[in-house]
Structure formats: structure tokens, C-alpha cells
Chain A
């Protein structure tokens, strides 16, 4: 199953390209969390929000995500991801976030949603090894 998540806002361009991916590979089972997006991927299962996405992330083989913390949440769950930054958000921080994450972990990502199908086709070339960057030192300093 492929799980798509756009976070708490809207990301119509990503949903448009998920529809293109579904048209290209009609047998793919795709579940979409579309937030406040205006475009509905009616050939896929979809919902707007849920209390938690933990079950969807756990069940997914691949997660297509906006450039939010779901990237780290999914990597922490040892999942394959494709990340597309939502460039309309404040300071285009999703693009800077993804480029920084990509310095530490080799992930497929783009700031152009139309790259989605190409990134999906290249998925096998990524290993998704978690970085040693993740540490408990900040918690220990503040609360121990």
C-alpha cells in the first residue's frame, strides 16, 4: 500500500500527481490523507484528517509525504519515503528542510510535484539508512 500525506494544510499539486501515478500504475493501492486540498483523488481511498496517522504509516510499503515532520516520523518507522516540498508554505521551509535532511539521509525528494512518478520509478536505488544524527543529548541536557 502507498500512503500519501499532505499534512494539516492543502497540497493540490501533490494530489494531482498522485492521480497521475495511479493512472500510470492502476493496480497500486493508494490511500491519501488530503487535508484541506481541493482536488479529490477519487480513484484512491482518501480522507481529510485523522487523530493519528500511525496505523497508515505502519501499514504502508511506501509513504509519499509533504516536507514536514512526517518525513522523520516515517524514517523512524523504517519506511521508504518520497518527499515533495509544499513550496507555498511560510519561507518555503519545506524545501530547506528536505535539502537538509537529504544531507544526512539519502532520500528521494523534490520541490516539483511533477517529479513524483520519476521518483517512484527510481525508488529501488535508495537505501533509507537512518543517520547517527538522531540523538538524545538535547533531552538529557534539558530534563535530566
Chain B
């Protein structure tokens, strides 16, 4: 079972690209949508889905509160246990952090794919996830980024 952490803005489209591939491939999946934004809401609602509004994207993507993060970690642990999740996956956004903490506490694999919009430096989220040891490496989607340590290029999700 794959647990995809999806967010708003451009990340929603990138997450949708990945989810559609997983559906085509008949991979069992559950999706958490972590941002109260508008993109593809009907698509995400049609999935095996939990909504957890941990991020706001007014004036940039920000966490709502510390309490909210703690609740997201608890939600993540519950979802992972209940659905027997093997991998927790996120493309490009900070909503990954509480859910990756939940994955690590549950002994599950975490996969972080940097956004296609990041072409020469990785995001603060990627750097923070590495620093917190919530991921071993970052999958980047542009070849020039691979020259940096802990960044791996194997194509893109399009």
C-alpha cells in the first residue's frame, strides 16, 4: 500500500500525475490532501482519501500551527497502521514532514521527490528532511541537480 501526501498549487498537478500512474498500474494507494486549496479537488475526493488541513498557502506554503503538526503525525500513524502502508511518498512540499515522521515512527519507507519546478537547488523542505534523517536521499527531476550529494536523478514523473 502506497500513501501519497498531496498538496495544493502546482504540487497538486504533480501529485495527480503520480497518482494517475499508480492507478493505471493498479497499485493500492491512499492519499492525504494536506492543503486547503482548489486544484483537482474533485479528483482527490474520488480516491481512497483522507483530508488533513495542515498547510496554508496564503502568502506561501506555511504550517498552520504546532498543534496541527502533532495532530498530523498522529493521523499519519493511524492511517499507516489501519491501511498497512509500505511506502509514504511526497512530491515537493512541506506537508511531507509530519507524515514522514509518522512513517519513521512506524518503521516504513519514505520517498521524497523534488518538484519539477526545482531545477538548480532543492527546496528547504528537502534539505530539512535530509537534516532530520526522515529520508536518505532526494529524487530530483532534472539531471543537473544530481551533481550534489544525496540527490538522485532517474528521470521524472510526467
List the interface of chain A (C-beta within 8 A of B).
Answer: 7-9, 36, 49-53, 67-70, 72-73, 76, 89-91, 93-94, 96-97, 99-101, 133-139, 141-144
B40 on interface, CB distance cutoff 8 Å: yes
A144 CB to nearest chain B CB (Å): 8
Residues of the B chain whose Cβ atoms lie less than 8 Å from the Cβ of A93: 117-119, 121
Within the assembled complex, what's the spacing in Å between the Cα atoms of A139 and B19? 11
- Which residues of chain B are within 8 angstroms of A53 by Cβ–Cβ distance? 39
Specify which of B9, B118, B154 is in contact with A137 (CB 8 Å cutoff). Answer: B154
Expressed in whole angstroms, the minimum distance between the Cβ of B11 and any Cβ of chain A is 8
How far apart are A38's CB and chain B's nearest CB, in angstroms? Answer: 13
Chain B interface secondary structure, helix, strand, loop or mixed?
A: loop
17 chain-A/chain-B pairs, Cβ below 8 angstroms:
A8-B10, A8-B38, A9-B57, A9-B59, A9-B60, A51-B38, A69-B117, A73-B13, A89-B60, A96-B120, A100-B120, A100-B142, A138-B113, A138-B155, A139-B18, A139-B157, A143-B22
Expressed in whole angstroms, the Cα–Cα distance for A91 and B118 within the complex equals 10
Contacts of B39 in A (CB 8 A): 8, 51-53
Q: For residue B8, which residues in chain A have a CB less than 8 angstroms away from its CB?
A: 8
Q: Which of B99-121 contact A (CB under 8 A)?
A: 111, 113, 115-121
Minimal Cβ-Cβ distance residue in B for A53: B39
Instruction: Check A143/B27 contact, CB under 8 A, given A51-B39, A68-B10, A69-B116.
Output: yes
User: Is B84 engaged at the interface, CB distance under 8 Å to the other chain?
Assistant: no
Q: How far is the CB of A121 from chain B (nearest CB, A)?
A: 28
